[in-house]
Chains A and B, each alone.
Chain A
C-alpha cells in the first residue's frame, strides 16, 4: 500500500491528483469507438476469415477484453487506484474467466458424443438431405432416423 498517502485516503477527493482529464477521456473514447468498429469489421464483407468463424470469434473477444480493460482502467479509475483494486477485482475476474474456459472445451465437444437417440431429439441441422448423403462426415451425424422420424 505504498501508493496511499493521506490525501488519497479521504475517499471522495482521492482522485483529484493529476489523472483523468478531458483529453484522456476523449482519447479512450476514440479508442473504444475504433475498437467497436474493429469488431464490427468482422461482420463486413472485407473480413478475410469468413470460412473459419473461430478466428473472428477470438478476434472479437480480444477486442472486447481490450475495451473492457480500457473502460475499467480509465473510466472506472482503476489505473490510479491503490492496490486494493486487486483484492476486489482479481478473484472475481479469475472465477469468471475460469468458468468460461472450463465450459468451452467440454461443451465444444459435446455434440460429437451424441448418441443416436440424442440426435433424434436435437434440432435439425440445416444440411439438405441430399448434401448430407453425399458428405460422409455429415451423413454420419444425421443419418440416424432423422428421415424416418419425419415421415411416419
Chain B
C-alpha cells in the first residue's frame, strides 16, 4: 500500500491515499461483511413480509411451536460471551501473550460449539413435534377441517388395524367398531396380547370412534349448527396438540379440557336417557304392532335403527370423553403419539425459522472452522491481523443473532 509518503502532519498539506488505510485482508473482510449485511437484511425482510403479512392472528406463538424463550436468551448470552473472548484473544495476541491468546480462542471455539449444540437440541425438539419445513415429514395442517380429521383417522386406523391383525394371528377375534364385541373379545383372549398392547388397542379404539370419528360425524351431520361444525374440529385439533397459548401452564391435576368435557358429558347423558326412553317406546310399539301393516313395521324398525346408532355413537363418545378427560398437554404429548397437528401459518413459520437460523448456523460453523485453524497456529503479534479479521466476522455473526433472537423468539 503506497500511502502517506510525507509523514508530516505539522503543516497543512493535502494527502492522497490510493487505497483505504488498512490491510488488504481487513478491507476484504469489511467488504464481505457489508455484503453480508444486505444478505441478512434480505432474509429478515422476507421474514417480515411473511410474518406480518400472515392473516391476522395466525402466526404461531412461541408456545405453539415449542420455542423456548429462555433457551434463546441463553444462546444470546453464549454468543455475547464468545464475542468478548474473541476480542480478548486479539488483545492478548497484540500483547505478545500467545498462550493467553490461544486460551481465549479455545474458549471462543467452545462457546461457539455450545451455541451450535443448543441449536441442534432446539431443531430436534421441532422435529420431535413434527415441525419440518416441508410436507412429507411435516405434520402441520393449516386448518382444522375434515381433511385434517381424515389425516388423524388414517394413522390411528393403521395402528389399530396392525394390533388387531396381531391379535387375530394370536387367535383372538378382531375388534370391531362395536365396543361390546371388543370387550367380550378381550375376555376371550385375555393374556394373548401383551398388557401394554392391549391398552394401546383400547386407546386407539377410543381415539378413533370416540374422538376423531365423533368429530367427523358432528361436523358432517346436517343437524349440527354451522358454527358448531367448525368448533368441533377446532376443538379436535386442540385435544391433539394441547391447549397451547401462553407460557407456563400451571401444573394442576385438572385437565384443561375438563370443564368443557364435563358439560358435554352431561348433555350427552341427558340425550342418552331421552333416546333410551325412545328406544323402549319403539320396542313396545314394535311388540304391539306385530300384526299390523308391513309399512308401519318398517317405519318403527328404521326409527329404532336410528336411535340405536345414535346411542352407540354416544357410548363411543363417552369412552372418548373418558380418555380426553385425563389429558394434560394433549394427545400427542400425553400418549407419545405423532398425530398431525393444526398450526395456522405453521408451514410458513417452519420455513422461515429453519431458513433464518439455518443460514446463521452455517455462519457459526464457518467461524468455528476458522477458529479451529487458528488453534493450530502460534498466536503471536504477527497473527493479530488474522485474529482481527476472524473476530470481525464472528462479531458479525453475533450481530445477526442479536436481531434474530427477538424476531424469532419474542415477536
User: Once the chains bind, are B406 and A75 in contact (CB under 8 Å)?
Assistant: no
A87 near B: Cβ within 8 Å?
yes
Contact pattern, B 36-65, Cβ under 8 Å of A = 1, otherwise 0? 011011101100110011111110000000
Q: How far is the CB of A75 from chain B (nearest CB, A)?
A: 5
Nearest A-chain residue to B345, judged by Cβ: A123
Residues of B within 8 A of A91 (CB): 34
Q: How far is the CB of B138 from chain A (nearest CB, A)?
A: 14
Contact residue among B21, B49, B56, B411 (Cβ-Cβ distance under 8 Å from A57): B411
A82 near B: Cβ within 8 Å?
yes
User: Once the chains bind, are B58 and A126 in contact (CB under 8 Å)?
Assistant: yes
User: Once the chains bind, are A71 and B41 in contact (CB under 8 Å)?
Assistant: no
Q: How large is the interface on B (under 10, 10 to 19, 20 to 34, 35 or more residues)?
A: 35 or more
User: Once the chains bind, are A25 and B87 in contact (CB under 8 Å)?
Assistant: yes
Q: Given A87-B20, A125-B344: A29 and B48 within 8 A (CB)?
A: no
User: Once the chains bind, are B406 and A124 in contact (CB under 8 Å)?
Assistant: no
Residues of A within 8 A of B322 (CB): none
User: Once the chains bind, are A151 and B143 in contact (CB under 8 Å)?
Assistant: no
A107 near B: Cβ within 8 Å?
yes
Contact residue among B3, B381, B402 (Cβ-Cβ distance under 8 Å from A68): B402
Residues of B within 8 A of A60 (CB): 406, 410-411
User: Once the chains bind, are B4 and A4 in contact (CB under 8 Å)?
Assistant: yes
Q: Given A11-B23, A150-B229: A100 and B48 within 8 A (CB)?
A: yes
Nearest B-chain residue to A127, judged by Cβ: B57
Given A129-B230, A141-B55, 6 new contacts (CB under 8 A) = A21-B91, A22-B88, A40-B69, A84-B21, A88-B34, A151-B229
User: Once the chains bind, are A36 and B41 in contact (CB under 8 Å)?
Assistant: no
Cα of A87 to Cα of B26 in the assembled complex, Å:
14
Contact residue among B53, B55, B83, B145 (Cβ-Cβ distance under 8 Å from A75): B83
Among B113-121, B357-365, B366-374, B392-400, the stretch that binds chain A is B392-400
Q: How far is the CB of B221 from chain A (nearest CB, A)?
A: 10
Residues 14 to 40 of chain B near chain A (Cβ within 8 Å): 15, 17, 20-23, 26, 30-31, 33-35, 37-38, 40
Nearest B-chain residue to A130, judged by Cβ: B227
Could you give 22 example pairs across A and B, Cβ below 8 Å? A1-B17, A13-B381, A15-B94, A20-B87, A26-B84, A36-B77, A39-B405, A53-B411, A82-B21, A96-B41, A99-B38, A99-B41, A99-B45, A107-B52, A108-B52, A110-B53, A123-B55, A123-B58, A128-B234, A147-B226, A147-B230, A151-B219
B385 near A: Cβ within 8 Å?
yes
Q: How large is the interface on A (under 10, 10 to 19, 20 to 34, 35 or more residues)?
A: 35 or more
User: Once the chains bind, are B233 and A150 in contact (CB under 8 Å)?
Assistant: yes
Contact residue among A15, A25, A71 (Cβ-Cβ distance under 8 Å from B398): A71
Residue from B76, B144, B382 whose CB has the most chain A CB atoms within 10 Å? B76
Cα of A105 to Cα of B84 in the assembled complex, Å:
37
User: Once the chains bind, are A5 and B87 in contact (CB under 8 Å)?
Assistant: no
B300 near A: Cβ within 8 Å?
no
Q: How many A-B residue pairs have CB under 8 A?
A: 213
Residues of B within 8 A of A123 (CB): 54-55, 58, 142-143, 344-346, 348
Nearest A-chain residue to B143, judged by Cβ: A124
Cα of A107 to Cα of B56 in the assembled complex, Å:
12
Nearest B-chain residue to A8, judged by Cβ: B21
Nearest A-chain residue to B247, judged by Cβ: A43
User: Once the chains bind, are B80 and A32 in contact (CB under 8 Å)?
Assistant: yes
Q: How far is the CB of A11 from chain B (nearest CB, A)?
A: 3
Cα of A95 to Cα of B35 in the assembled complex, Å:
10
Residues of A within 8 A of B7 (CB): 6
User: Once the chains bind, are B22 and A14 in contact (CB under 8 Å)?
Assistant: yes
Contact residue among B1, B37, B384 (Cβ-Cβ distance under 8 Å from A93): B37
Q: Given A75-B83, A108-B52, A125-B344: A43 and B22 within 8 A (CB)?
A: no
A33 near B: Cβ within 8 Å?
yes
Residue from A4, A25, A75, A133 whose CB has the most chain B CB atoms within 10 Å? A75
Residues of B within 8 A of A127 (CB): 57
Residues 49 to 63 of chain A near chain B (Cβ within 8 Å): 53, 56-57, 60-61, 63
User: Once the chains bind, are B73 and A6 in contact (CB under 8 Å)?
Assistant: no
Residues of A within 8 A of B91 (CB): 20-22, 25
Q: How far is the CB of A102 from chain B (nearest CB, A)?
A: 9
Q: How far is the CB of A123 from chain B (nearest CB, A)?
A: 4
Q: Given A75-B83, A128-B234: A111 and B53 within 8 A (CB)?
A: yes
